[in-house]
Structures are given as C-alpha cells and as structure tokens.
Amino acid sequence: MKKRTIYSSVAATVIFLVLMIVTPTIPQSQAYHAFADQRSFFGIPNALDVISNFPFLIIGLIGLVLCYFPDDYFKFSLRGERLGWTCFFLGVMAVAFGSSYYHLHPDDARLVWDRLPMTIAFTSILALFVIERIDEHKGTYSIVPLLLAGLVSILYWRFFDDLRPYALVQFVPCIAIPLMAILLPPMYTHSTYWLWAAGFYLLAKVEEAADKPIYSWTNHIVSGHSIKHLCAAMVPVFLTLMLGKRTVQTERISLYKTWKRSRGKGSKEESFECTYSNVAVQETR
C-alpha cells in the first residue's frame, strides 16, 4: 500500500508538471471585477453582492458548533473526520467575511481573501472523501498537505498572475467528488446529499458566468453573482443535513450499484406485469 501511495503521488506530480509546461498561463482578467450589480444601499457599495454572503456565516457557524456540541451531534466514527469537517465549516464561515470584503471594492488584492476560504473548503472536502471512501489514515494525513496545496495555488496566482494551479485546486474536487460519490461505496447513508450539493455548486458556477444576463433578465432586480452566492451556500446546507441524518451503513454499496439494482428490480417487475398466459376459450352453442 505504501508503494502504491508513493507511485500515485509521483504520477500526480508528473502530470501536474507536464500540464504546467504544455499549457499557457492564465492571467487574472481585470474584467472579472466588473460585476453587473453595482448599486449601493445604506452606504454599502455593491450591496447585494456583499449581503448575499451572510448565509455562509450562519451555516458555517451552525456546522462548526454541531461538530462539537451537543454531545457529538454528528457522531463521527472515523479518524480525522472531526478535523476535516472543522476545517470545512471554518472555511465556509470565512467565505462570508472574505467575499464581503472583496465585493466592497473588487480588485486583485482583495480577491485573495475571497478565494482563500473557498480553497480551504474545497481541499477539506477532498480529504474527507479520501477518509470515508478510500482510507481513513491516508485521508487524515492528506488534510494538511491539501490545505497547503490550496494556499500555494493562491500565492502562485498572486505573485505570478497565473490561475492554473488555483483552477486545478478548484475544479479537481468538482469532478472527483461526484464521481467518487457515485462509484465508491460509502461508509454512511444519505450519500445522495453529496450529489445535491454538487448540483447546487454547478448551478452557482452557471449563475456566476451569467451575471450580467441574469441582471438584465430580472429587470435589474438581482444579478447572477448575487444568486450565485445563495446557491453556493446551499452546498454546506445539504452537507450539514447529510451529517445530521446519516448513519453507518450495514452494507457498503456504491450509489451506482444501488441504482443498477433498482433498475434490475424494475425490469423484473415490468416483465412480470406484462406476461400473459393463453387461456383456452370453449365455444358454447
């Protein structure tokens, strides 16, 4: 197992270096800071983009409290889970402050404090998936290296104006987590909540890209970026609900196999319902 881990780490490093060599740099576009809704309310510039971050503070605080009180509410049973979820909920709480600070006066210097908390949340979630679905010891040991990788990706972008490492840190969990949620057998029930969370995050990215069109479609009532904050806040909401509802699986079966079984049963039931027997009809005179 140690050799496999070493080989995997070396392979991942080589792939990363090759990508850094063969792909062009991705500088931060200054047009990114020109959000659609720039209205001020009660003296707050870009008010809705600032205020819409408030749900992150609430759900992050609730999740953090429930990690420790009352009486181990989430009932963690694996090594490193409490640490991983603590980092995640701290990152979610920090998003409220970092993103609000950035949106008060959007520029590259403030964008660091917007992206850093999100990176903490992304990397924590990836480590938690390794803990539950692959190996709890490796997952626990990966928490700090993954957090450091996220920090390095932010610093690399800031000092070299290259978004490639940050994009990798952000989008690898977006691809890996739904795939692992479907293909790898979970230790706990309610795995579908991961897919709901991933769906809301994907919706948030679409709304972010459609910031100005949504602002126009809503007759300048709300922008895509403000709605994006609310949808992104649904990710920790679903994960908190999952933690509160889940129990240890008696039989570890992946979602893919569960769906496959359901389809198989449905097919059998359908074939049973559509099977008819010939009945002889006796003519009467």
pLDDT at residue 284 is higher than 50: no
Q: Is residue 256 part of a domain?
A: no
The rounded distance, in Å, linking the Cα atoms of 266 and 227 is: 39
Please give the share of the chain, as a percent, with pLDDT higher than 70: 89
Closest by CA to 80, choosing from 134, 141, 29, is 141
Reading phi first (left if > 0) and then psi (alpha if -120 to 50, else beta), residue 279 is in beta
Domains: count for the chain: 1
User: Is 215 domain-assigned?
Assistant: yes
Q: What percent of the chain has pLDDT over 90?
A: 67
Answer yes or no: is 148 within a domain. yes
95 alpha-carbon distance from chain centroid: 14
Beta bridge partners of 148: none
In a domain, residue 270? The reply is no
pLDDT at 285: 41
Query: Has residue 194 been placed in a domain?
Result: yes
Inform me whether the pLDDT recorded for 278 exceeds 90: no
Residue 200 has pLDDT above 70, yes or no: yes
Classify residue 198 by burial, with Cβ atoms within 10 Å: 0-12, 13-18, 19+: buried
Compute the mean pLDDT over every residue in the chain, rounded to the nearest whole number. 89
Name the residue range of residue 221's domain: 43-249
Q: 9-13, 16-20, 23-27, 44-48: lowest mean pLDDT where?
A: 9-13
Distance CA 129, CA 132 (A): 5
Instruction: Flag whether 271 is in a domain.
Output: no
Could you tell me if residue 32 is inside a domain? Answer: no
Tell me how far apart the alpha carbons of residues 67 and 78 are, in angstroms, rounded to a whole number.
13
In a domain, 38, yes or no: no
Indicate the pTM of the whole model.
Answer: 0.87
Helix axes 54-68, 81-104, angle to 10 degrees: 160
Which CATH number do you get for residue 235? 1.20.1070
Provide Rg for the chain, Cα atoms. Answer: 24
The CA distances from residue 224 to 33, 146, 171, 209, 220, in Å, are 14, 30, 20, 8, 10
pLDDT in tens, 50-100: 999 999 999 999 999 999 988 789 989 999 999 999 999 999 999 999 999
Condensed to tens digits (0 to 9), the pLDDT of residues 100-143 reads 999 999 999 999 999 999 999 999 999 999 999 988 999 999 99
